[in-house]
Amino acid sequence: MLAVCLNNGMVSVRDQHRPRRPDGFALIRLLCGGICNTDLELKRGYYGFRGTPGHEFVGEVIAADDSHWIGQRVVGEINLACGHCEWCERGLGRHCPRRTVLGIMEHPGAFREFLTLPLGNLHRVPREIPTEHAVFVEPLAAACEILNQVRIPTRAPVAVLGDGKLGLLIGQVLKAHGAEVHQYGHHKDKLRLAASFDIEVRAGKKPPVAAYDWVVDATGSSDGLTQAVKMTRPRGTIIMKSTVHGLVKIDSAPVIVNEITLVGSRCGRFEPALKLLRGGRVRVDNLISEALPLQQAPLAFRLAAQPGAMKVLLNG
Ligand SMILES: [Zn+2]
Ligand SMILES: [Zn+2]
């Protein structure tokens, strides 16, 4: 089978044996994968990664202990948890200290013709959701995680900083929740997209100071947090969605003086994301910039790294 491999900043496609299916796991044929910024960072060698990346995918179950799964179109949660530690028992396998992570940490990823994941990680994709939309479930779940962590009142004004792929998903999720979303960004075409989702956009001009009780930093840049602190009202909350490699410098004085709550936020449960896509309450069709076959992964990675690129898909 074909498998994408990252090694020393190079992307290659190799011929490999099909993975063996451990008990309790499904063997899944890749239908579609999505390249995200984390994959680009793994390519650059962050986290010392080498091997097959890919954690955003839709596939078809080929083999499983339970035959009901066979032939099902699925998406899969990416954390493989131990199942019996304190965190797992609390239903927080995403924080299991013994977890491996699909395509990121010690479990080969989805950018290959066949992959394996525990059955417990899988979710059937409802027929109404096309494969190239379902591939957004993982990043959309990360956007939904915000509402799992903080209680944002409906109609509350929320500033979403950043108009990239994740920022545009977050804007839509908070809008669907009933918040009054103001999307801040620098890319005209992306803000136009946000506006087409009926989101109020704020471009170019200086962001207002101490204006919001809720600010989401999805800029992906190391200045995002400083900007967010400036924009937050006393006793307000900042949700941190930018994973920046390296240190982020921040003046802690305004955080302390204004008693601002900082909330780190990572991945989330898939159910709310599937529900939003199924109900058409979040749109992802305009977030795709290219779809290429798995064999063209080197080109796909180059395109995904271009400034302003949206989601690049790899078809299995
Ligand atoms: Zn990702
Ligand atoms: Zn565990």
Shortest-distance ligand to the CA of residue 103: 1
CA 33 / ligand 2 centre spacing (Å): 27
CA 80 / ligand 2 centre spacing (Å): 9
CA 259 / ligand 1 centre spacing (Å): 31
Shortest-distance ligand to the CA of residue 35: 1
Tokens standing for 272?
Answer: 């709310």
Shortest-distance ligand to the CA of residue 95: 2
CA 85 / ligand 2 centre spacing (Å): 4
CA 226 / ligand 1 centre spacing (Å): 24
CA 39 / ligand 1 centre spacing (Å): 7
Residue 259: partners with Cβ closer than 8 Å, 6 or more residues away: 234, 235
Shortest-distance ligand to the CA of residue 143: 1
Phi, psi of 118 (to 5 degrees): -60, 145
CA 208 / ligand 1 centre spacing (Å): 30
Amino acid making up residue 112: R
From first CA to last CA, the distance across the chain in angstroms is: 11
CA 266 / ligand 1 centre spacing (Å): 10
pLDDT 10s digit of each residue in the chain, 316 long? Answer: 999 999 989 999 999 999 999 999 999 999 999 999 999 999 988 778 999 999 999 999 999 999 999 999 999 999 999 999 999 999 999 999 999 999 999 999 999 999 999 999 999 999 999 999 999 999 999 999 999 999 999 999 999 999 999 999 999 999 999 999 999 999 999 999 999 999 999 986 789 999 999 999 999 999 999 999 999 999 999 999 988 877 888 999 999 999 999 999 999 999 999 999 999 999 999 999 999 999 999 999 999 999 889 999 999 9
CA 23 / ligand 1 centre spacing (Å): 27
CA 257 / ligand 1 centre spacing (Å): 34
Q: What DSSP string describes 123-138?
A: EEPPTTS-HHHHTTHH
